[in-house]
Amino acid sequence: MSKQHLLTPYNKNISLNNRVVMAPMTRSRADNAGHIPTDDLHGLYYEQRASAGLIITEGSQVSTQAVGYVNTPGIYSDEQVEGWKKVTQRVHDNGGKIFIQLWHVGRMSHPIFITGSYHYRLQP
Ligand SMILES: Cc1cc2nc3c(=O)[nH]c(=O)nc-3n(C[C@H](O)[C@H](O)[C@H](O)COP(=O)(O)O)c2cc1C
């Protein structure tokens, strides 16, 4: 595949400006009590990468019990949804497309990330 082909638009199930897809990468930048993606960190980071055909965001937890890593953003509260809307708008304003990666890390988590709950502890 030539470099030129990589940079050509893709128009099948989705229309992309090019065939470059940014892989999901946890950045641990949701350093706030609500695990909210912020305009100044997340918004800027993803806007700067909007020239990729498609961005897949860092893994984002679907509930308070789904956290596996420090300072990862969520998408289970209204504030988080609003934060992601701003991120998405900045990517769209710069010509990009963005999908969110949803995750629930299951029992690989640690109690410190799931408010002290031992819900995932194996039974003896
Ligand atoms: C700093 C860092 C953070 C990552 N975070 C995620 C993540 O949130 N979700 C995920 O599915 N993969 C994550 N990955 C894996 C990357 O998506 C993966 O490295 C990429 O797809 C390239 O695949 P490879 O490492 O097998 O070559 C992360 C990788 C790195 C280096």
- How far is Cα 68 from Cα 111, in angstroms, rounded to an integer? 9
Interval 24-56: pLDDT, tens:
999 999 999 899 999 999 999 999 999 999 999
In this structure, the residue with its CA closest to atom 28 of ligand 1 is 25
- How far is Cα 56 from Cα 65, in angstroms, rounded to an integer? 22
In terms of DSSP bridges, do strands 15-16 and 10-11 run parallel, antiparallel, or are they unpaired? antiparallel
- Residue 85: pLDDT above 50? yes
Could you tell which of 25, 101, 104 is best to mutate to test the pocket of ligand 1, judged by most ligand atoms within 8 Å of the CB?
25
In this structure, the residue with its CA closest to atom 2 of ligand 1 is 25
Residue type at 124 in one-letter notation = P
Segment 76-83 mean pLDDT:
98
In this structure, the residue with its CA closest to atom 26 of ligand 1 is 23
- How far is Cα 5 from Cα 58, in angstroms, rounded to an integer? 27
